[in-house]
Structure 1
């Protein structure tokens, strides 16, 4: 019995020992599998580096591009289409064979600090071609047992590396397995020196001496719905041919566009990302690879979209206007780069040096010689200047107290350090020209001291630093004679109006479609449910334009349009009209077509305007004992830029620092401001469309800050980007403003404004506007996916107008997808909104402007994609 028990015990012990062995074996296998997996990416990178290293040694490749990231890692692009990454800092690669070429031209490898010449069949392997033979390129891999294998015949046969070298893999860093330990770039000699990690030897590779690139102006991953087409702006140099490696996406490359069409079906059945690869080749056959990351959805782009958008597309019960015509060239393209226009380039710095002038003197000298400003007391106009006024990198003082003068007949309440009382801005009367710098962080146009006002009681009367304008305003009978009367009613959204005649009207011409009326029925329609105040300008009878009086009173509607055709009593515009036309309102001139005088193709780009705004912002001087004397310093002293009566013009890639007002488009049409940053001390306002039609204001980052007059922290300009006067069709796209601010809506009858996918505060009284010019905004204010970042005590019962509040009166807006900080709008039952959908949650499409452009054109234009 004891023997049986002993046998059973021994058996159990053996069984237990066998289980432990199996567990250890399984652990070893799992560990080996993990080590091999860890090494896969490293091996792939190492093999690529070995091949590229050999071609460097053989002198077969050049460097065609390079860049450095925020971690100081270099990416080097080679002329064979490959890239090499050199990582900064120390990388543990003791477990990787590090290859080098020894003094004999043979391959050697270093592992765990020991260097060994590579032998195959007891013979060294040549890395450099010998007479009649080619150099050999080794390849690495790890076998199923975890040993390093080497191939010298492109993978046909494999042998163990050295004396059964084990691939550890526990220290493998998949993205840092580089054959190269360092790189030095010498642009003067046109060479890049690579340091080899194994033995610190070096190899020099020439840099391709020409620009050779294709850049896609887009950041991040481009998202596509099924079958969606998008355009991307590209810039290229010395590209002879290009091939596109993709079988499922439709891709077409032109000189300045990449057009991508998504598959109509998602074969993976889930949202996925991939890369579109474009190989470009130079005339010499050198290659670079350009990538566009893309994401494909499982539905069409408008699936599960907002009801308001569906109704817009269907045309039934629609509340939305079509804003897609806003911006330069009706939103269809961006302006060319200044240096590609073929204009004469005039260098301001060179002019300063050659004529011993200040920056201001040099600029005025350039303008005078091109008949674009006042010359000997006479205003000169050059509508076709065809010049680029180029400010190379540097600081340019365009105003200080040296520019001011003394005039005893002018105001004496505001004087400068020299007791002067008059400031003069620089007025520019020219079209087809560009003011260009070397970038917002390199070129700075500076106002060292404030522009003095013409009257301290007129807070905005300080002149603008650079005022680019046509001198003939549209509200003067002599400047704007009547061309025709409108003879039949028309609806908003129509493109054609019937008129009394088309003499003097031709295709391509810009005109104004306008109405002035004091008809009480119309006035009440215009203000909606808001009670009429008889002191408001809109309530007073207008004066005929033919009396050459100020255009102040009654209903004022002005739309600037480009004529597509004019014949047989009809005018067809390129853009839809934004307001219903009812010809019965003819108590003044009625609906009419008048001349509009303008300048075209004016650009300001790639520079900064620097002011010196006061800290402790005080709106209109409030909080100061002598409010009337100091208000101008806060609201108007530093106004760098005005574009007035221009069409198809732009301001882009511009930074405004410590300014009272950044930029105004006044009485202009189809112009754009984008890639704008506002910083420094808080000022009065940001970027506005004033009495203009279809201005696009996009990607403005309002980051000014400081404390207000009461010591309270504030963010952004007091008024954010927005509108004033009879503007129509303005688009604010992807704009931010301060948490304690609001979009600007500065009264005097703006209409039809789209605030699209913007972010900022929704704070009472920050819209702006004189109480006698109320309401702040009339019909068709549309808030689409506004992300509210701050509000005030009104948030729980947010009203857009109130009979008891004289400063905040906005015609019931359209609000869709307003989200972020919680806001509860008083509803349609109280006539506070015209339409409300999805308050508290974003809707699709994310951008109404983008969706409308896509609907009209069939694709998203490249310039807009580049801004996203």
Structure 2
């Protein structure tokens, strides 16, 4: 392991080498043109700029060095994504193909294709697996006269595949919005496309012994009905005041936060069982929330599907009005495009979401990757988020529309990584209350502003412990003494306790340091450039190939 002194020496040698290189260039030019003062001054300026940039770029994050010795210093984000980040998203070619045109769909005409698409999905579901395939062209998925219902798939091993999400590819056009379940509740319009599971979670028993963050084994009172390879949900709901205080630390509960006060701390996390022995479950991923058995942690068999892929499709809505937050159900959720729900080891990749209220949500799922997706067109309510899920990766996605809430988390989500995503200076990441935890914004570029996190007052705060901003680049105007836990007179809709801020860059923003959990290198980016990549490499010994390929590939 390279220590701090060796790192400093390496930096110094690196700088000396390039200084020497520039001096050689300088002397060569002087020999040919002694009178060229402008060139000489230009080279000196570039030399100094290069040295300053080199020093800044090489600054190592102390907190990561500490993490190598003590894993409790930071949340462990290395298990997020499809198969815990260890496998590439597969290119499935050996499933039976269900071409929607063989079920009555026809691109580029004036007739709805909604029923034909559902028939193709039903056939693939009945087969037990399948590729629901769309050739190039525009398919109409919610026209006048269509039933006001979602298009639903309830089985696993289904690939929903188009022929490209760009110009000349596959477009699924939603002319009309679906109606809300309750018009007075502006979030209740269902998604047009839902990939989910039938059945419900089954109560097995409860945890009987304490488990610390990072443990891979839990003790339960019974393992009856469970096998290796099964998925479980660990559920906690307890309004013990000491439990609430231990999580919020030095921050106080506000009277309007009735969900936290009356129902309490809510945790619902999903893990796959690796091994069962002597009443102990060994899990594939470590516990991310400390378990104290006095708080009645329930163990449930998780009803889910797996290996669902949504690929190379443009989902296009018909939201054309100027968005006004909470003006109407049509603003907030009228054109909600896609939801993956109750699934594991699944993905959305290379998709586009245009003119929509809500692009896509990952709900009550685990180890899902959303990769290289674009949100554009008319601005709406939400971009892409993880809700009530565990170990979700949102990677190299771009929000050009400036959704009111951009990429983020909601509803008890645990361990989410938003990796190398961008959104405009006019919006901010989402943190939509109902107790999300452990969210990493890693190499993200976009606005930072309070009031854009989201969530009803009764479900506050916006986030619990574990928000990490790592090499976050703020692009909107700077804010002096930016607050994560401001007084009500400053903001009623922005409460995040003890975030970790490392390598934050901006046009000059500063923070109220006493509100931060940990902070380092404010104003200068750090190494490692990506915390997610560094933690994954530390766990596996090397970066998997898909990371290398993704880093090479361009985004939208």
SS in 1 for 2:180: coil
CA contact (8 A) 1:453 1:459 kept: yes
In the alignment, structure 1 residue 662 sits paired with structure 2 residue 387: no
The one of 808, 818, 824 equivalent to 2:510 is 824
Is the 8 Å Cα contact of residues 112 and 143 (structure 2) preserved in structure 1? no
1:346 alignment partner, one of 73, 98, 109 = 98
Q: Which residue in the other structure is 1:600 paired with?
A: 306
Question: 1:866 — aligned with what?
Answer: 549
Whole-angstrom distance in 2 between the partners of 1:387 and 1:789: 43
8 Å CA contact 1:746, 1:767 repeated in 2? yes
State the distance in 1 between where 2:59 and 2:324 align.
46
Supply the distance in 2 between the matched residues of 1:481 and 1:466 (Cα, whole angstroms). 26
| SS of residue paired to 2:437 | coil
Matching of residue 369 in structure 1 with residue 123 in structure 2: yes
* 1:681–1:354 CA distance, 2 compared to 1 (3 A): closer
Aligned residue among 737, 762, 781 for 2:448: 762
How far apart in 2 are the matches of 1:454 and 1:570? 43
The match for 1:729 is 415
The within-5 A match list for 1:153-552 is: 304-315=59-70, 318-338=72-92, 340=93, 342-352=94-104, 358-370=112-124, 372=125, 385-404=128-147, 423-441=148-166, 442-472=169-199, 479-541=200-262
Which of the two has greater helix per residue?
Answer: 2
Preserved contact between residue 349 and residue 359 of structure 1 (Cα < 8 Å) = no
Determine which of 636, 641, 662 is the counterpart of 2:338.
641
Query: What is the TM-score of this pair, normalised by structure 2?
Result: 0.85
CA distance in 2, matches of 1:481, 1:468: 21
SS of equivalent to 2:523: coil
Q: 1:483 to 1:321 in 2, by over 3 A?
A: same
Contact 2:417-2:439 at 8 Å conserved across structures: yes
- 2:112/2:146 contact within 8 Å kept: no
Structure-2 residue corresponding to 1:557: 267
The structure with more strand, counted as a fraction of residues: 1
Please state how far the C-alpha of 1:679 moved relative to its aligned partner: 0.7
Determine if contact 1:328/1:650 at 8 Å carries over to the other structure.
yes
Distance 1:526-1:349 versus aligned 2 partners, 3 A rule: same
Please state whether the residue corresponding to 1:790 is helix, strand or coil.
Answer: coil
Q: Distance in 2 between matches of 1:790 and 1:774?
A: 25
- Whether the 8 Å CA contact 1:319–1:835 is kept in 2: the answer is no
Answer yes or no: is the 8 Å Cα contact 1:740–1:791 preserved in 2.
Answer: no
In the alignment, the residues of structure 1 paired with residue 193 and residue 391 of structure 2 have an alpha-carbon distance, to the nearest angstrom, of: 23
Distance 1:833 1:334 in 2: 36
Alpha-carbon spacing, 1:453–1:354, altered in 2? closer, same or farther (3 Å): closer
Runs of 5+ in structure 2 lacking a partner? 3-13, 20-53, 552-556
Give the aligned partner of residue 29 of structure 1. Answer: none
Instruction: Please list the CA deviations of residues 773-831 of structure 1 after superposition, one character each: whole Å capped at 9, or x if unmatched.
Output: 00000001111110001157xx1011111342431111110111111232211013xxx
Distance, in Å, in 1 between the alignment partners of 2:246 and 2:193 is 39
2:286 is aligned to: 576
Q: How does 1:41-120 map to 2 (within 5 A)?
A: none
**Deviation at residue 353 of structure 1 after TM alignment:** 6.3
Q: C-alpha separation between the residues in 2 aligned to 1:536 and 1:854? A: 40
For residues 570-611 of structure 1, the C-alpha deviation after alignment (integer angstroms, 9 at most, x for no partner) is 1111111111112233xxxx1231121001000000110011
- Corresponding position: 1:810 with 2:493: no
Change (3 A) 1:523 1:400: same
Q: 2: distance between equivalents of 1:480 and 1:394?
A: 40
Could you give the per-residue CA deviations for residues 333-372 of structure 1, whole angstroms, max 9, x where no partner exists? 122113x2x10011112332699984212112223334x4
Query: What is the alpha-carbon distance in structure 2 between the residues aligned to residue 505 and residue 443 of structure 1?
Result: 42
Q: CA–CA distance in 1 between the matches of 2:215 and 2:326? A: 42
Structure 1 residue 701, shift from structure 2 partner: 0.6
Asked if 1 retains the 8 angstrom alpha-carbon contact of 2:336 and 2:360, the reply is: yes
SS at match of 2:398: strand
Q: 1:818-860, CA deviations, whole angstroms, 9 ceiling, x for partnerless residues?
A: 11232211013xxx11000011110000100011111111111
C-alpha RMSD of matched pairs (Å): 2.4
- Tell me: CA distance 1:567–1:734, structure 2 relative to 1, closer, same or farther (3 Å): same
Taking structure 1 as reference, are residues 609 and 483 closer, same or farther at Cα in structure 2, changes over 3 Å only?
same
Deviations 1:399-420 (A, max 9, x none): 122214xxxxxxxxxxxxxxxx
Q: Following the alignment from structure 2 to structure 1, what is the Cα–Cα distance between the partners of residues 184 and 115?
A: 31
Q: Is the 8 A contact 2:121 2:132 kept in 1?
A: no
Contact in 2 for aligned 1:460/1:635 (Cα 8 Å): yes
Separation in structure 1 between the aligned mates of residue 105 and residue 211 of structure 2, nearest angstrom: 59
In structure 2, relative to structure 1, the CA distance for the partners of 1:637 and 1:806 (3 Å cut) is same
Structure 1 residue 303 displacement after superposition: 7.4
Q: Indicate the structure whose relative CO is greater, using CA pairs within 8 Å and at least 6 residues apart.
A: 2
* Cα distance in 1, alignment partners of residues 102 and 267 from structure 2: 47
Task: Report how far residue 304 of structure 1 moved.
Answer: 4.9
Structure 1 residue 756 displacement after superposition:
0.6
Go from structure 1 to structure 2 and tell me whether the alpha carbon gap of 1:444 and 1:453 turns closer, same or farther (over 3 Å shift): same
1:801 — aligned with what?
A: 485
The answer to whether the 8 Å contact 1:814/1:834 transfers is: yes
Q: Deviations over 1:532-568 (max 9, x none)?
A: 1234234444xxxxxxxxxxx2210111001111111
1:773 aligns with 2:459: yes
Report the TM-score when normalising by structure 1: 0.55
Q: Equivalent residue for 1:619?
A: 325
What is the SS of the residue equivalent to 2:391? coil
Distance in 1 (CA, whole Å) between partners of 2:100 and 2:112 is 10
Structure 1 pair 491/354, CA: closer, same or farther in 2 (3 Å)?
closer
Q: Is the 8 A contact 2:475 2:507 kept in 1?
A: yes
Q: Distance in 1 between matches of 2:309 and 2:177?
A: 25
